[in-house]
Amino acid sequence: MKRRVVNFLCGLEGAVKPLDRRQFLHVAAATLPAFSRIASAETYPARPVRIATVDLISNTVFPLLAANHLGLFKAEGFDVEIDLFPMGPPALHNGRVDILAMGSVYGVLTEFPEWKGSKIIAALSQGTPWLLVVRANLAARRGDINAVKGLRLTAADGPDQALKLMLVRAGIEPGRDLEIVELPGARAPGVSFGVFAERALEDRKIDGFWGNALAAELAVSRGVGKVLIDVRRGDDPDDVRSFTFAALATTDAYLEREMASAEGVVRAVVKAQAMLRADPSLARKVGQGKFPADAAELITRTIEREIAFYDPVITEDAVRSMNAFAQAIGYLSGPVPYDQVVDLRFPKLWVS
């Protein structure tokens, strides 16, 4: 586009004989902004960027929601549509969405074997983002994973793989030593698993759940639950904190078509992460517009504890650990190089 603008102006200089050099430069100065706007319109798609998330009431994808609420996508020159897709990877694979936000980003492998055809472009939050919450009256100390024996737990599809492997590596066998059940209705359209599980705990349908920090905060604040295992804060028995991380993923095909849009999404999210780290109270402003009343009241203090994890950087160690976990659960056949998982054009954008 820039080349076409230059060619046009050069042609203008040659064709408009009466203009002297100074007059030509004056015309050029007046014309370039208009061409710049045309170039911008050509850079970004006419329709909004479609982003799917598997859970909307979540601290895990909160930087994405904050970027939208704070107008950071619009500041980049485009709109986004953020929708709940409990089955996010199929939606990405079949083109219903352009970008996927997941707390369990290894789930992309269910539709893109060996990571082929997909790329991760930024982290939303560092480390395995789930906590094990049990009923408040359970006689158990924080970190005592053996206290789950005999209990009835629930976990969302995908995150349940991390829970099961954590238990197995602690010498606890699901199905023999405890139950992990699927809650009826948990996969229904519009359902936020963490809030759904917290209500099931409150109704005594289960003894505990594996969920995000916001769901844990709800359970604790209502007096119905307590945190037994917080893997990112050292309660994990086998480095479970490195099993995964929350991230944005997309397809190679989308990056080939809409690289500028993908870059704009990442820039906006990185800005939102930096803004939340600088002023966690922004979480209340965002929460009041995005969450039910009870969740909105808790989001500020939840985010205050989470901000240390809001970092877009994806290290080679993080990818190596995630791939090792994916191999352990049968999602990956072997190691995959970093540059086949993460698009190397994006790390430069991770600096806010």
Q: How far apart are CA 295 and CA 301, in angstroms?
A: 11
pLDDT category, 3, cuts 50, 70, 90? very low
Query: Into which CATH architecture does domain 49-127+244-350 fall?
Result: 3-Layer(aba) Sandwich (3.40)
pTM of the model: 0.83
Residue ranges per structural domain of the chain: 2-43, 49-127+244-350, 131-242
User: According to the model, what pLDDT value does residue 41 have?
Assistant: 41
User: According to the model, what pLDDT value does residue 15 have?
Assistant: 40
Q: Say whether 131-242 and 49-127+244-350 share the same fold.
A: yes
pLDDT category, 86, cuts 50, 70, 90? confident
User: According to the model, what pLDDT value does residue 329 have?
Assistant: 95
Pairing of strands 131-135, 179-181: unpaired
Using one digit for the tens of pLDDT, what is the confidence trace for 244-267? 999 999 999 999 999 999 999 999
Q: How far apart are CA 329 and CA 158, in angstroms?
A: 10
Q: Residues 165-194: what's their mean pLDDT?
A: 90
Using one digit for the tens of pLDDT, what is the confidence trace for 316-326? 999 999 999 99
Q: Which residues contact 314 (CB under 8 A, 6 or more apart)?
A: 120, 122, 123, 245, 247, 342, 347, 350
Q: How far apart are CA 186 and CA 228, in angstroms?
A: 22
Contact 43, 262 (CB under 8 A): no
pLDDT category, 158, cuts 50, 70, 90? confident
Closest CA to 108 of 140, 125, 85: 85
Provide the phi-psi class of 81: left if phi over 0, else alpha when psi is between -120 and 50, else beta. Answer: beta
For the chain, the average pLDDT equals: 86
Burial of 2 (0-12, 13-18, 19+ CB in 10 A): exposed
User: According to the model, what pLDDT value does residue 139 have?
Assistant: 94
The secondary structure of the chain, three-state, reads CHHHHHHHHHHHHHHCCCCCHHHHHHHHHHHHHHHHHHHHHHHCCCCCEEEEECCCCCCCCHHHHHHHHCCHHHHHCCCEEEEECCCHHHHHHCCCCCEEEECCHHHHHHCCHHHCCEEEEEEEECCCCCEEEEECCCCCCCCCHHHHCCCEEEECCCHHHHHHHHHHHCCCCECCCEEEECCCCCCCCCCCHHHHHHHHHHCCCCCEEEECHHHHHHHHHCCCEEEEEEHHHCCCCCCHHHCCCEEEEEEHHHHHHHHHHHHHHHHHHHHHHHHHHHCCCHHHHHHHHHCCHHHHHHHHHHHHHHHHHCCCCCCHHHHHHHHHHHHHCCCCCCCCCHHHCECCCCHHHHCC
Q: Residues 194-213: what's their mean pLDDT?
A: 94
Closest CA to 329 of 133, 179, 214, 169: 169
% of the chain residues with pLDDT over 70? 85
The answer to whether domain 131-242 has CATH 3.40.50.2300 is no
Say yes or no to pLDDT of 56 above 60: yes
Tokens coding 250: 């997309």
% of the chain residues with pLDDT over 90? 66
Say yes or no to pLDDT of 6 above 70: no
Using one digit for the tens of pLDDT, what is the confidence trace for 100-115? 999 889 999 999 999 9
